[in-house]
Amino acid sequence: DQQVKQNSPSLSVQEGRISILNCDYTNSMFDYFLWYKKYPAEGPTFLISISSIKDKNEDGRFTVFLNKSAKHLSLHIVPSQPGDSAVYFCAASVGAYSGAGSYQLTFGKGTKLSVIP
């Protein structure tokens, strides 16, 4: 039973346009959500996070939106750059934001983003 789902295995976007990566979750206990970026042969790199008390968090070109009622989050990258080409993982945890949790992360399967120059 996959608790975090990324239904698009891949996405291609033109350089300068917006990239939108989607993620759905089923566990209503999740209260902290993160996006990681992964290049081949490297470990995941933290990108941006959002707690369940917010519906939006922005950091430069990256914005994460959370819709708790729909159990859906999305990552927007504007403008997209060729260096953004990587696999993006959505992850979720219970209690991590409050410090009560362990940061045991549940990951989706990832979406491979290709930004075309």
Partner 1 sequence: DTGVSQDPRHKITKRGQNVTFRCDPISEHNRLYWYRQTLGQGPEFLTYFQNEAQLEKSRLLSDRFSAERPKGSFSTLEIQRTEQGDSAMYLCASSLESTEAFFGQGTRLTVV
Among 12, 26, 81, 104, which residue sits at the site for partner 1 (rule: CB under 8 A)? 104
Which residues in the 34-63 window bind partner 1 by CB under 8 A? 34, 36, 41-46, 49
Report strand pairing: 19-25 vs 4-5: antiparallel
| CA dihedral of residues 67, 70, 75, 76 (deg, nearest 10) | -80
Report strand pairing: 56-59 vs 62-67: antiparallel
Among 89, 94, 113, 115, which residue sits at the site for partner 1 (rule: CB under 8 A)? 89
Q: Is 30 in the site for partner 1 (CB under 8 A)?
A: no
Size of the site for partner 1 (CB under 8 A): 25
CB 16 within 8 A of CB 79: yes
Chain positions contacting partner 1, by CB under 8 A: 4, 34, 36, 41-46, 49, 89, 91, 96-99, 102-110
